[in-house]
């Protein structure tokens, strides 16, 4: 099988809540998503999506994804998309770094392989584990009382796991965590995610001030070393996200006992292939994971569902249904949340059918 055409689309994804806010006053109103379609000479087309969380969350941004794809796509014409190891080695040799650029291409190749073999990706990723995948809800940064109200509201929609966006003023964040903890019910999970927004002394102050609560602290500071310094001074369970950007960092952090849980984002590590490598290593090492991406619509949500649903439930801390945060559906067949959980499709590949009227006119078409 050979790649004949790679088509690139850009889609705006506005938010149901109007605005998503997190650490350091950062926010996004409309997400800039890129969809890639890889067509082959046997009639199969695979789809992938990459959607950075604005230009200032990770070293990634929407136009950057498309510029990188423009670099790689012409070189991929004629290659076999089902030889995904070769495709990834080729991309890594052709473009150093820029892992997020490769994510949508890798995802589309997996979709082709699933369609070619007639299997859903979660079967190719090791097999379906359990009935469904429990989801967390990110609680956008707002004043404390509003965030507590939003925890209640999203509980009514079925969520039992809540990730508070903190990383602002330390005193305000202590209030936010306490207000949310006050409305928590038995069995629910609360995470305070600073998204790198705290200085180490503030992070230590917050962790000390909420030490009596049942709460996880996630990615308090920007650098790994600062996070480790905070980790060593709190007994609260600890999650690393932004710093775990590949296998090397996972191994280092595991060796240092730097975290109890990681947050595995597909595009942050360069695509489903590399996320699988990390996922499988975490399963072997007994490290629980939140499985998600930086952001996305229906195609990213489907990819998350397959990766998460093929992960043993005991090591699946949570996952995300990004398609329920946004007002636009870019594909039919994507997982739909029910009672705070989702299921991977049983259809071949990702199991999604992109809506051409929503994708609109391609930004670019690459062919031989
Ligand atoms: Mg996080």
Residue 92: predicted pLDDT: 98
How much is the pLDDT for 116? 98
**DSSP label at residue 187:** T
Instruction: Report percent pLDDT > 70 for the chain.
Output: 100
Distance 318 CA to ligand 1 centre (A): 12
Residues 78-121: tens digit of each pLDDT: 999 999 999 999 999 999 999 999 999 999 999 999 999 999 99
Ligand 1: centre distance to CA 27 (Å) = 14
Q: pTM for the complete prediction? A: 0.97
Residues acting as catalytic residues? 165, 265
Low-confidence residues in the chain, pLDDT < 50: none
Return d(Cα 80, Cα 99) in angstroms, integer: 20
Q: Mean pLDDT of all residues in the chain?
A: 97
Ligand 1 center from residue 265 Cα (angstroms): 9
pLDDT score of 368: 80
Which residues face 7 on adjacent strands? 37, 365
Q: Which CATH architecture has domain 3-118+354-367?
A: 2-Layer Sandwich (3.30)
Give the distance (Å) from ligand 1 centre to CA of residue 193. 6
One-character DSSP codes across 144-180 = HHHHHHHHHHHHHTT--EEEEE--S-HHHHHHHHHHH
Instruction: Please report the beta strands in 195-299, taking only residues with DSSP state E, as ranges in sequence order.
Output: 216-218, 238-240, 261-265, 289-292
CA of 161 to the centre of ligand 1 (A): 13
* Residues 6 or more apart in contact with residue 4 via CB below 8 angstroms: 39, 40, 41, 77, 367, 368
Tell me the domain boundaries of the chain. Answer: 3-118+354-367, 123-350
Domain spanning 123-350: CATH superfamily: Enolase-like C-terminal domain (3.20.20.120)
3-118+354-367 and 123-350: same fold?
no
């Amino acid at each position: 099988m050979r790649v004949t055409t790679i088509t690139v689309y850009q889609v705006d994804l506005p938010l149901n809540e109007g605005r998503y806010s997190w650490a350091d006053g950062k926010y996004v109103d409309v997400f800039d998503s890129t969809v890639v379609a890889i067509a082959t000479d046997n009639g199969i087309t695979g789809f992938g999506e990459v959607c950075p969380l604005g230009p200032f969350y990770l070293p990634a941004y929407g136009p950057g994804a498309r510029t990188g794809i423009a670099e790689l796509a012409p070189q991929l014409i004629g290659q076999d998309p089902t030889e995904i190891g070769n495709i990834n080695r080729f991309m890594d040799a052709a473009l150093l770094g820029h892992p997020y650029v490769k994510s949508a291409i890798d995802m589309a190749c997996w979709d082709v392989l699933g369609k070619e073999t007639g299997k859903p990706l979660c079967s190719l990723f090791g097999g379906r584990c359990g009935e469904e995948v429990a989801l967390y809800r990110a609680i956008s940064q707002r004043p404390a009382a509003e965030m507590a109200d939003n925890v209640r509201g999203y509980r009514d929609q079925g969520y039992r796991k809540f990730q508070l966006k903190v990383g602002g003023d330390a005193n305000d964040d202590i209030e936010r965590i306490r207000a949310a903890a006050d409305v928590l019910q038995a069995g629910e999970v609360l995470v305070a995610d600073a998204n790198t927004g705290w200085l180490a002394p503030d992070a230590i102050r917050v962790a000390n001030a909420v030490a009596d609560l049942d709460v996880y602290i996630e990615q308090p500071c920007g650098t790994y070393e600062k996070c480790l310094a905070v980790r060593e001074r709190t007994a609260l369970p600890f999650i690393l996200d932004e710093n775990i950007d590949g296998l090397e960092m996972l191994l280092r952090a595991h060796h240092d006992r730097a975290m109890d849980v990681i947050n595995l984002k597909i595009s942050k590590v360069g695509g489903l292939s590399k996320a699988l490598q990390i996922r499988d290593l975490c399963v072997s090492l007994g490290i629980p994971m939140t499985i998600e991406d930086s952001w996305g619509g229906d195609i990213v949500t489907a990819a998350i569902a397959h990766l998460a649903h093929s992960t043993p439930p005991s090591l699946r801390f949570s996952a995300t249904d990004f398609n329920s945060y946004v007002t636009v559906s870019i594909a039919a067949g994507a997982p739909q949340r029910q009672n705070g959980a989702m299921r991977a499709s049983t259809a071949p590949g990702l199991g999604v059918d992109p809506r051409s009227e929503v994708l609109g006119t391609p930004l670019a078409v690459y062919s031989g």
